[in-house]
Chain A
Amino acid sequence: MQDGKITELFLSRDPSALLEAQKAYGRYCMKLAMNVLGNKEDAEECVNDALYKVWNAIPPASPMHFGAFLARVTRNTALDRRKHNASYKRKLPEADAVLSELSELVSGREDPEEAAMERDLREAISAFLMTLPERKRRIFIARYFRYESIVRIAKENAVSPGSVKTELFRIRTDLKNYLTERSFII
């Protein structure tokens, strides 16, 4: 079912909206949650929570792209769960590796003006991604939004893991330069 139709079902409070959302994006969300949480039961609960949140959010929200909306909610729900669940003190190689790569982008210091510039910064990151060729954008999103493993990304794009690592390094460097040139203090 197309995204617009799924959103319509949510807007009309039709319970089949949940089933259709699950059918269309269940696997994707489950994988995303698994990448963050590394535990099937938690991931399943996380996807259910995300669907519940989306059910409560639409209406009033009326997302243009339902898949992206659900993915964002799932990612944020998974990260919250990871943060608040003591059991995640155990090592989760993929999520830890992603955070470590992202730490190269930032100073690690808190800035008092940070909150004020967050919105601008988010828009700048989106704008930067739109300057990338689609393949590079897909690799960036897979790694830093979906927490996908390097090996899996390599398979998805039919390239070697080494070239994915190189590509990601270049994108991170370009992003840092892009933001610095626009006077963002990161």
Chain B
Amino acid sequence: MKTETINRLIGDLDDEALSCEFEAKASRPRKAFRFAAAAAALIVAAGAAFGIVNAASSNNGAKLPAQYAFMADTSVPKDAVLPPVQVGGGSSDARYLKNYDLAQMYEAADAVCMVTIRNWLSETKVGTYFEAEVERVYKGELPETIVIFQMGNSEYHMEDSPLYTYGDKLLVGLIPWKHSIYPGAYDIVGTDIAMLYAAASDEGGVYLIDHRGVMSMETEQNIKDHPFTNYASDEKLVNELLDYINSYDNAIYSELQGYYRTSDPSDTRYFHVYSLEQIESFFSEIGNN
């Protein structure tokens, strides 16, 4: 018998044999959610009680610093409200937007923070509103939960930037969105070319991805006295980060993976990966000046 034949036979397995795929998918996230929430609470409690900086996270045995315990929760509860689609029929070209380097983004924003996207709220002819949990604030003051506006809706999206969905973790600069139907909503500085996707490695490190590399290109040109290390050449690490994102957002995973595969290091606008530590250190530096 040939390999193709056995491969084809596995593709025709009956419903009963395949059912574990779907039953498991329905039940696992809920378990993971409870476990992750409990683990996150324990991490914070342990950190507070004993001054412990590192503690075990829930999802893959990794160690995450206590202040990033929220990174351990990558589950999507069954009642989460997701956008109808993340990739609209058409797209707008983000090249026409103003470019920002890290310092310009920080300067232009009223608030800079790490958020976790939660429920999809609604969409207009221009963009989409999401609830977001504020996890870490690097500039300004923010409540625990905010409304974020993203350019694009189910009809079109910004080119190479699918709409966000429940669970996405982003580092963004925010300014008030004056046209909002939700009081106090925020727009993202630089739309989709001046924000970073956050992800955790298997070892528990937190990293930030600039998949287009536009902000990195600006940063490299303008902030020469502050060296940033780009970890994009570490393929194992990048794959871990992409796998992490794929556990809750396949659309953005696919986009980032596409960018990574075709990334050309000889082009300054290529895939960049930073450790959160170096970005935080930079924000701290420019925040004190």
Contact = CB atoms under 8 A, between A and B. Distances in A.
Contacts of A158: 59-61
A108 B5 CA distance: 10
The A interface, classified by DSSP as helix, strand, loop or mixed, is: helix
Contact of B19 (A65, A149, A155): A65
B181 interface: no
B2 A68 contact: no
Interface in A94-110: 98-99, 102-103, 105-110
Interface in A79-131: 79, 98-99, 102-103, 105-111, 114, 118, 121-123, 125-126, 129-130
Contacts of A156: 28
Contacts, number: 125
B21 interface: yes
Nearest to A39: B258
A130 B17 contact: yes
A65 B22 CA distance: 9
B54 interface: no
Given A65-B19, A141-B20, A27 B250 contact: yes
B20 A138 contact: yes
A17 interface: no
Contacts of A107: 1
Contacts of A145: 10-11, 13, 18, 21
A65 B18 contact: yes
Contacts of B257: 34, 40
Given A64-B15, A126-B13, A134-B20, A108 B59 contact: no
A108 B13 contact: no
A72 B5 contact: no
A7 to B, nearest CB: 12
B6 A106 contact: yes
Contact of B60 (A102, A114, A149, A155): A155
Contact of B1 (A64, A99, A149, A185): A185
Contact of A30 (B25, B28, B254): B254
A185 B25 CA distance: 35
Contacts of B59: 155, 158
Q: Which of A43, A68, A158 has the most CB of B within 10 A?
A: A68
B254 A40 contact: yes
A142 B21 CA distance: 8
Interface of B: 1-3, 5-22, 24-25, 28, 59-61, 85, 239-240, 243, 246-247, 250-251, 254-255, 257-258
- Nearest 8 CB-CB pairs, A to B? A65-B15, A68-B18, A106-B1, A126-B17, A103-B3, A67-B22, A129-B17, A68-B15
